[in-house]
Amino acid sequence: MAALRFRVGGDSLGYADDFASLPTLSQLSTFNFHDAQYDPLWYVFNAMVKSIYNDFIFFQFVEAVIVNSIVFFIIKKYSKFKYWTLLFYFFLYYLYFNMEILRESLAVCVFLLSLPFLLKKKWIIYYLFAYLAFSFHSSSLVLFFLPFMYRKLKLKYYIIILGVLVLVTFYITPFIFFSNFYVSDRIYNKALSYTNKDINVFGILMELIAILPVIGFQRIRKLNKMEKHRFEYLMTAYILIGLLSLAVAGFYRFLNYLSICSLIYMVDTFMVIYKNKIHFYKSLIFVNSFVFLILFYQGFYMLRDTSRYQPDTHFYNTYLPYHSIFDRTVDMQRENLYFKSMNVR
């Protein structure tokens, strides 16, 4: 589905249009990486693919194989209920990882490969992976701070942190704070795009829905004295980043790096409760409530109205109707929806 699509998706439409102008392997030695729009390894990766076969269809095939192979490998390695986890992956993240955030997907995959070293606290190797991910996508900057958030916290500390973040954002504009540090123009512009987004009550509510299930499953595990999950402390980082995104709207993108880990964590907890009937009826209410929140969040995400960009459309029109390389149909409704939403055309 991902490899053989033809102009289906969101950001991948822009990447498809850019592909022809990206340098080949022979041009990399004279390419100006410093002033380039994207991060260095994105150009290197594209050049390597071009050296084999210079066509974006082949590129998205290679990308789909790499991304899904690594995600499947991590799920198989760390999930106790891998088929259920795969089902939720397809429902929640498959389209997003394979047809939207193509650059960031590669960075996420590099992080996933670093998990064994993060969990074993082999920091030197972990930070080498973090730097590699950062060379694919600047949002990987969050990975350098992840070890400092890798710890156990009580619920009251989450509440205190949320309160502090809310107070701080009233007095300090995050972007102004960030601009005091010397960074490249590429990272500076990325920081601007992430921190210069408007925050509204509805957006805050949707961000809460994204992190509440993890908080809930953490609470269930503690109350039922369940065995500590290998991703238990990573969920602290997930929640902290989620709380930060309530204050700085664009920071929700950082959750992408821990999304597969959070999925494994929630599915494992969900299935252990159902299989072992741990405080069954009491836990059943909690579990079903949090699963409902997850499904509601995804349903709203797909069904939200996008008529302000293209009349009579919803976000799911980014993916539907589906066209493959065998019919090569360009859906102008999808093209207009994406490029108008990005203010490109």
Task: Give yes or no: residues 105 and 169 share one domain.
Answer: no
At 217 the pLDDT is 85
Residues 194-201: what's their mean pLDDT?
54
Task: Give yes or no: residues 23 and 81 share one domain.
Answer: yes
Q: From residue 311, how far is each of 11, 254, 299, 301 by CA, in Å?
A: 20, 31, 20, 18
Position 248 in a domain: yes
Q: From residue 140, how far is each of 103, 106, 111, 229, 277 by CA, in Å?
A: 11, 11, 9, 24, 39
Position 240 in a domain: yes
SS (H, E, C) 124-143: HHHHHHHHHHHCCCHHHHHH
Task: Give yes or no: residues 153 and 252 share one domain.
Answer: yes
Task: Give yes or no: residues 235 and 334 share one domain.
Answer: no
At 225 the pLDDT is 81
Which residues face 324 on adjacent strands? Answer: 5
Residues 329-339: what's their mean pLDDT?
94
Q: In the structure, what pLDDT confidence band is assigned to residue 339 with cuts at 50, 70 and 90?
A: very high
At 282 the pLDDT is 59
Q: What is the pLDDT of residues 144-184, one digit of tens each?
A: 988 888 777 665 666 666 666 555 555 555 555 455 544 55
| Stretch among 47-56, 106-115, 272-281 having the lowest mean pLDDT | 272-281
Q: What is the pLDDT of residues 217-240, one digit of tens each?
A: 888 888 878 888 999 999 988 988
Task: Give yes or no: residues 80 and 206 share one domain.
Answer: no
Q: What is the pLDDT of residues 32-41, one digit of tens each?
A: 998 888 999 9
Position 203 in a domain: yes
Task: Give yes or no: residues 175 and 29 share one domain.
Answer: no
Pair 74, 108: CB distance under 8 Å: no
Position 134 in a domain: yes
Position 308 in a domain: no
Residues 134-151: what's their mean pLDDT?
89
Whole-number Å distance between alpha carbons of 124 and 213 = 32
Position 23 in a domain: yes
Q: How many structural domains are present in the chain?
A: 2
Pair 286, 270: CB distance under 8 Å: no
At 285 the pLDDT is 67
At 173 the pLDDT is 53
Task: Give yes or no: residues 93 and 215 share one domain.
Answer: no
Which residues face 305 on adjacent strands? Answer: 314
At 182 the pLDDT is 47
Tokens coding 247? 């204050």
Position 310 in a domain: no
At 167 the pLDDT is 59
Task: Give yes or no: residues 15 and 44 share one domain.
Answer: yes
Task: Give yes or no: residues 237 and 329 share one domain.
Answer: no
**What's the domain range around 345?**
1-139+316-345
Task: Give yes or no: residues 27 and 176 share one domain.
Answer: no
Task: Give yes or no: residues 55 and 81 share one domain.
Answer: yes
Task: Give yes or no: residues 151 and 262 share one domain.
Answer: yes
Annotate 52-66 with DSSP letters as a single string: H---HHHHHHHHHHH
SS3 content of the chain, % helix, strand, coil (to 5): 70, 0, 25
**Mean pLDDT over the full length of the chain:** 84
Position 64 in a domain: yes
At 177 the pLDDT is 47
Q: In the structure, what pLDDT confidence band is assigned to residue 301 with cuts at 50, 70 and 90?
A: confident
At 193 the pLDDT is 53
Q: What is the pLDDT of residues 276-300, one digit of tens each?
A: 766 655 556 666 777 777 777 788 8
